Amino acid sequence: MEKLITEKYWKHPIFVEALQLERCCEKLEIDMSQMLLPLANLAREIMDEWKGRLRALAVVRDGDSGKKLLQPCLHWNQLPGWRELLRRLKSILCRKPGHGESTGIRPFLLDLQGVPRNNKDAVDKSIEVYLYPPLKNSNNPYAHLEEFVGDVQVLQKVLNIPGMPVLAEERLSGSKSDKATMLDLVTKFNEVWDEEMFVAQYKDWYDLVKRQQELNVGTVSEDGEQQPSLSELAEAIRETEIELSIAMASKDQLDMVRKRLEDLRSSKAKRHAVLASIVQDVGMRELDEIIIVSPPEENATAEFPKLSELGLFGDQLTMSGEVLPLG
């Protein structure tokens, strides 16, 4: 009976479409990950072994008049943005992800959509860090994707220059054999990277995600009827399962649930009595007033305020899995 009642929700066209969209998104993410993996490995090698030390680069080319011209490939004021790009590429597709790292590519896909990341600065955590500067008065949803593809073209060009002069070799902390590793990674990247395919896959993925967002907030059918959102359907399924579990429960199970509810009500009443006594004592002592604390409604949800801030070492304690003291 439970299966028959909940089946109408699970077979709802919105749920079926959402499941199909998620499967397609997963397939596209896997395909994009296969192309981004060599690039992520390159970023890890540059940031970890070469300490992210890049330098401005210009090449000499022949001009129209036959004179030699100096053409910049990587300007010095672009280096901070390049290091940020490599840092974010380094943090994806990690086998053993640490803090701020991911086994997938969704954080980077959010970067390509212009979604900022919160700064880890302990003084001001409200600072939002963008991969690329936000574009004003632009209706192109693929603007950041185009910037990223352009950066990859430049990176591929400068890394394929003999000797890799873009890397600050004189500051290399490792051995000379590290450049052989870079050559292997660049060769693998050249074999796998397909710019047109990546752009097409990202655009398909973006369209599917937009459709998922529409389903999540509810859509209007062709007949003009308002369709429920995914959250509303999920809540309906949850309520139906609760009703069915109560209807199919035995007498002993229902007695156990009733006893637990009575214990919770009793505990709630005792806590209110303690709180009312404390407030009354403080009011009489500090304000010379009698403060009466009314009991909450039986079905009211208890919402407690935040008791303390993380403090100076809160982030480190949270990363270490320590229990933060309250108060």
Q: DSSP class of residue 46?
A: I
**pLDDT > 80? residue 157:** yes
Contact present, 43 and 50 (Cβ < 8 Å) = no
How far apart CA 168 and CA 271 sit, in angstroms, is 66
Query: pLDDT tens-digit profile of 78-122?
Result: 888 888 899 999 999 888 887 778 888 988 998 898 888 765 554
Query: Token pair for residue 240?
Result: 């139906």
Contact present, 227 and 14 (Cβ < 8 Å) = yes
Q: Span 290-304, mean pLDDT?
A: 78
How far apart CA 116 and CA 147 sit, in angstroms, is 16
Beta bridge partners of 118: 128
How far apart CA 89 and CA 92 sit, in angstroms, is 6
If one counts every other C-beta atom within 10 angstroms of the C-beta of residue 136, the result is: 5
Q: What is the per-residue pLDDT for 153?
A: 93
Query: Token pair for residue 144?
Result: 């950041």
Q: What is the per-residue pLDDT for 177?
A: 45
CA distances from 180 to 55, 183, 254, 301 (A): 20, 5, 70, 62
Half-sphere exposure of residue 78: CA atoms within 13 angstroms, side-chain side? 14
- In terms of pTM, does the model score above 0.75? no
The overall average pLDDT reported for the chain is 81
Query: Token pair for residue 113?
Result: 């959509």
Q: What is the per-residue pLDDT for 105?
A: 92
DSSP string, 241-296: HHHHHHHT--HHHHHHHHHHHHHHHHHHHHHHHHHHHHHHHHIIIIIS-----PPP
**pLDDT > 80? residue 322:** no
Q: Span 7-16, mean pLDDT?
A: 74
Q: Which residue has the higher pLDDT, 114 or 316?
A: 114
pLDDT band at residue 189 using 50, 70 and 90 as cut-offs: very high
Q: What is the per-residue pLDDT for 24?
A: 94
Q: What is the per-residue pLDDT for 123?
A: 47
Highest mean pLDDT among 152-161, 196-205, 215-224: 196-205
